[in-house]
Amino acid sequence: MKLPSTIRFADEKIKKSFYELESGAFEEKEIFKFVNQAIDNLEEDAYAGIQIPKKLIPQIYVAKYNVANLWKYDLPKGWRLIYTIKNEQVEIISVILEWLDHKEYERRFGY
């Protein structure tokens, strides 16, 4: 079952960083396109990513964003989009926490 959602960024710094990618170097523009496509897919279905087991959620996300669930969306070239799903009344919201390359993803999750 698909669950449509509204996209929000966790904070203004992340939102600003996302839009700065659009006018950056070639690789940054590419990442902008990857994340933008992921956002379109998450608007259609908040469950488009892969849920990360609760025991593997890094404490930084719990402390900084008070997440109760965590999801990853695989982007091209080994990048990952990390997000959480929140239910605010009857509106489902996917909150973008960060995007990171595969190496940083493995570091963050202790793989």
The secondary element (H helix, E strand) that includes residue 85 is strand 80-88
Q: Where are the domains of the chain?
A: 6-109
pLDDT digits (tens, 9 = 90+) for 7-52: 999 999 999 999 999 999 999 999 999 999 999 999 999 999 999 9
Q: What's the CATH code, domain 6-109?
A: 3.30.2310.20
Answer whether 0.85 is exceeded by the pTM.
no
**CA geometry: angle at 82 spanning 5 and 21, to 5°?**
95
Helix and strand tally (H, E) in the chain?
Answer: 4, 5
